[in-house]
């Protein structure tokens, strides 16, 4: 009997998916790990860019006081 896929919509299935991804990363080739790390770096750059863009919009519309309030 073949291995069953876990339902990703359950807590158990999400845990199994995380465990499988960690296993793949830990036992992967250096090229595979480098690719995954590169993707993670790009995601962080996008989040930081969005954060700066929102901060710039708030500063433009409301000034420094509104930006300080948003950052709190």
**Domain assignment of residue 24, yes or no:** no
**Domain assignment of residue 48, yes or no:** yes
Question: How far apart are alpha carbons 50 and 48 in whole angstroms?
Answer: 5
**Domain assignment of residue 6, yes or no:** no
Nearest to 70 by CA among 43, 47, 49, 57: 57
Query: Residue 8's pLDDT is what?
Result: 84
Q: Which residues neighbour 17 within 8 Å (Cβ) at sequence distance 6 or greater?
A: 6, 8
**Domain assignment of residue 61, yes or no:** yes
**Residue numbers of the domain that contains 40:** 29-72
Number of domains in the chain: 1
**Domain assignment of residue 5, yes or no:** no
**Domain assignment of residue 50, yes or no:** yes
Query: Residue 2's pLDDT is what?
Result: 56
**Domain assignment of residue 47, yes or no:** yes
Q: What is the mean pLDDT of each run of 10 residues along the chain (72 residues)?
A: 76 92 94 95 97 96 94 90
């Amino acid at each position: 009997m073949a291995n069953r896929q876990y339902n990703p919509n359950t807590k158990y299935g999400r845990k199994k998916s995380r465990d499988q991804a960690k296993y793949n990363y830990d036992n992967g080739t250096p090229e595979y790990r480098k690719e995954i790390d590169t993707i993670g770096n790009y995601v962080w750059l996008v989040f930081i860019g969005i954060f700066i863009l929102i901060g710039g919009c708030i500063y433009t519309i409301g000034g420094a006081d509104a930006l300080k309030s948003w950052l709190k």
